[in-house]
Structure 1
C-alpha cells in the first residue's frame, strides 16, 4: 500500500493504491503496478507513506467499471463483453461493434499462438477500452496522455494506464486495421508476450500489431486477417526497397529512432511488418525464442544498440547480413 501526491491531478492531493512494487530506484523512487493494472512512476518526494504488505488480487470487471465511472466525466456508460469492458458516451451500437472485433481478435490471437506452441497467460486485469463520442471528445481526452499526436490518430493503446482509447467514426470498416492494431498491443502486453516499460524494440511491437491487423472485407464481420499479407505495409516496403541502404536492418533492430522521425517512420513501419512476416513464415522457431527472451526483460531495463543486435543475431543463428539477404529475396516473391 502506497500513498503519494498525484502531480497529474492536484499536486496537493493524495492518492493511495494497493500496488506491487516492480522497480525501486536507489533514491527511493518506485515503479508500481496497482490492482487495476495501471503503472505508476512515483518519485521519492511524492511518497507520503508506504506500508509493506502482500499485494491484493487484481480487481474484477465490476470493480473496474465502478472505478472507471467515478474517474471519467459524467455521461459515460458501460458495455461488457466476455473479455472487455468498454466505456462509451452513449454510442452503444458502435461500442458493440468494437467489442465484436476485440473478441474476434482475442480468440484469434490466443489460437494463433497456441498453434505455435507458445503458452500465453490470460490477462490478469480487465481489458478496458474507452470509446469517445467523436473526434473533438477524443482530442480533449487523448491530448492529456499523448499531446498533439491525438489530432492525427484515431486510437491508441496507453502503456501506463493499460487502456485502449478510440472514438466513434462514421464507417468502422475504414478503421478496422487501427482498432485491431491497438487491441493487439493491449493483448501482447497483458498475456506475457511483452512486458510493459521494458526495452521492447519498436520494430517488434509494431511488426506484431501489423501482422495481426490486416482486414478481410470478404468476411461479413470485417476481419479475420491474422497473418495475411498486409497490402498497405507491403506497398510501403516495396516503395522503400529501391533506396533502402545496406545497414537498414541494423538501424531498425538497434534502436527506435527511425520510428520517431516523420522522414523515416513510414519506411520503418513497412520494414517492420515485412521483417515480422518473413520471420514468422521462415524463421518461426527462432523468432518465437527471441520474443520469449524479450518477454523476460525487466521494466525500465535498457539495452545498448550493440546488445540489441547481438541478441537478435544470436536468436536467429546468423548474422544480420546473412538474414538480410534471405529477407529481401523472400519479400521479392510475396504477392
Structure 2
C-alpha cells in the first residue's frame, strides 16, 4: 500500500512541478487549446533558469531539437543526451538554428554525468546503460545485470508480438545511490517530498532512473523492474514522453513486466506472469467495484492521484492489461500504436480517450468490461 500511495504522490507532485515551472507557457497553452508549433527543428539554445523572476544558476547551452513551441516563445526541447528541457520565454538568452546533433555516446554521457555529479560518484558502462553509483560496486553491478536482463526480455517480447520498437537512441542513465539518506538528498531535488515514500523512480524530464541500496536486491526487484520498464518504454518508441499517455496503460505495462518470481534465485525471470500483489488488489476491489469503473480508469488519471483510490486503480490497471494482452492482443497493440502517434503535450478529452479505446478494441466499453470481468474472475 505504501508504494501505491507513493506512486500517487509522485505523479501529482511531478505534474504540479512541471505546471509551476511552465506557468503561462508551453503546457498551459496546450491545455487551453492555444495554437503552437509542433514541427521539429534543430537548434542551439543558451538559457538560464528563472525562479520568481530571478536568474538561478549558471548559463546552460543545449544542443538538440525543439519539439514544441508555444505562441509566446516557450519551448519544449530534447537535448542530444535525451533530456527534455521545458524552457520559459524569459529563460532563453539566445537561440540559433543548427544541424541535428548526433546522440551522445556512452563515453560522453559518462563524462557529462561525472562532471554534473563529481562528489563521491563512480561510473561504469554496460551494453545499454551508464550507471553512476556510490560506494558499493558489487550491488551496482547486480542492478546493471538486472537492467540488461530486462532489456533482453523487453525487446524479445515485443519482437514476438511483431511490434516495431527501436533501440534507445541515447545511453540509458541510472543512479544507484549509497543509502536512503543519499537518495533523499538527490531525489528531493527532482521529485520533492515524494522521495521519502519510494525506493526508485524514472524521471521523465531527465530521462534517468534512480534507486539506492536497500538490503538485498531480491526484496526490491519488482520496483526496479517497474521503473526500468518505464524508462525502456519511453526510449524505444513504445510511448512518447510528455504526451497524453493514460496512466492505466503506462502503469499496467510496467506491472505486466515486473512480476516477481520468488522461486528463481534472481527473483525475476520473465514477462507476463500473474502479478500476485496486484491480483490481490484487484480481488479486494472487485466486490465494491462500481459499474463505471472501467470508464473512469480509461477517461482520465484522477483515480491515481488520490490515496483513497490509487490502490484499486493500480490493481485494475494490471488486471486490464493482463486481460487485454492475454485475450485481445491485436486490439491492445492497435491501441498502443494509436497512442504512439500522440505528439508531446497533446491532450485528449475524456470522451476522446474513451473513443480511442473503443475504436482500438472494436467494441463498446460496456462489452469490453463484460468480457474483462468474466475473464478475471477465473484468474487464480
1:265-276 map, 5 Å: 265-276=310-321
* CA shift for structure 1 position 225: 3.0
Q: Which residue of 1 aligns with 2:94?
A: 49
Q: 2:85 aligns with which of 27, 36, 40?
A: 40
Query: Pairwise mapping of residues 1-335 of structure 1 onto structure 2 (< 5 A)?
Result: 1-7=44-50, 11=56, 13-335=58-380
Q: Could you list the runs of 5+ residues in structure 1 that have no partner in the other structure?
A: none
Structure 2 CA distance, aligned partners of 1:13 and 1:178? Answer: 35
Q: TM-score, normalised by structure 1?
A: 0.98
Deviation at 1:218, TM superposition (A): 1.9
Distance 1:66 1:4, change over 3 A: same
3-state SS, counterpart of residue 303 of structure 1: coil
SS of 1:41's partner is: strand
- Is this contact kept in 2: 1:79–1:92, CA < 8 A? no
8 Å Cα contact 2:218-2:266 kept in structure 1: no
| Alpha-carbon contact 1:154-1:167 (below 8 Å) kept | yes
CA drift of 1:328 comes to 0.5
Cα deviation digits, residues 178-214 of structure 1 (max 9, x gap): 0000000000000000000000000000000000001
Secondary structure in structure 2 of the residue aligned to 1:18? strand
SS in 1 for 2:56: coil
The answer to whether the Cα contact below 8 Å between 1:4 and 1:14 also exists between their aligned partners in 2 is yes
2-side partners of 1:185 and 1:218: how far apart?
25
Aligned-pair Cα RMSD in Å = 1.1
Q: Distance in 1 between matches of 2:136 and 2:49?
A: 31
Instruction: Write the distance in 2 (CA, Å) between the matches of 1:299 and 1:180.
Output: 25
- Report the Cα distance in structure 2 between the residues aligned to 1:251 and 1:149, rounded to whole angstroms: 25
Match of 2:336, SS state, is helix
Q: Which moved more, 1:77-86 or 1:231-240?
A: 77-86
Which whole-Å CA distance do the structure 2 matches of 1:230 and 1:102 have between them?
19
- Looking at structure 1, the residues matched to 293 and 217 of structure 2 have their Cα atoms a distance apart, in angstroms, of 35
Distance in structure 2 (CA, Å) of the matches to 1:231 and 1:296? 33
Report if the CA contact (8 A) 1:87-1:129 is conserved: yes
- Output the CA distance in 2 between the equivalents of 1:99 and 1:155: 14
The equivalent of 2:13 in structure 1 is none
Cα deviation for residue 171 of structure 1 reads 1.6
2:206 aligns to what SS in structure 1?
coil
Task: After TM superposition, give the deviation of residue 306 of structure 1 in Å.
Answer: 0.6
In structure 2, how many angstroms separate the alpha carbons of the residues matched to 1:229 and 1:206?
Answer: 15
The one-character-per-residue Cα deviations of 1:92-150 (angstroms, maximum 9, x if unpaired) are: 11111101110110000000000000011000000010111001110111111111110
Contact 1:79/1:95 (<8 A) preserved: no
Distance (whole Å) between structure 1 residues aligned to residue 114 and residue 50 of structure 2: 21
Q: Cα 1:153–1:82, aligned 2, differ >3 Å: closer, same or farther?
A: same
TM-score (norm 2): 0.87
Gaps of 5+ in 2: 1-43
Structure with bigger RCO (C-alpha 8 Å, 6+ apart): 2
* Other structure's SS at 1:6 match: strand
Aligned equivalents of 1:213, 1:24: Cα separation in 2: 36
Query: Deviations along 1:289-322, whole A, 9 cap, x unmatched?
Result: 1101101100011000110000000100011111
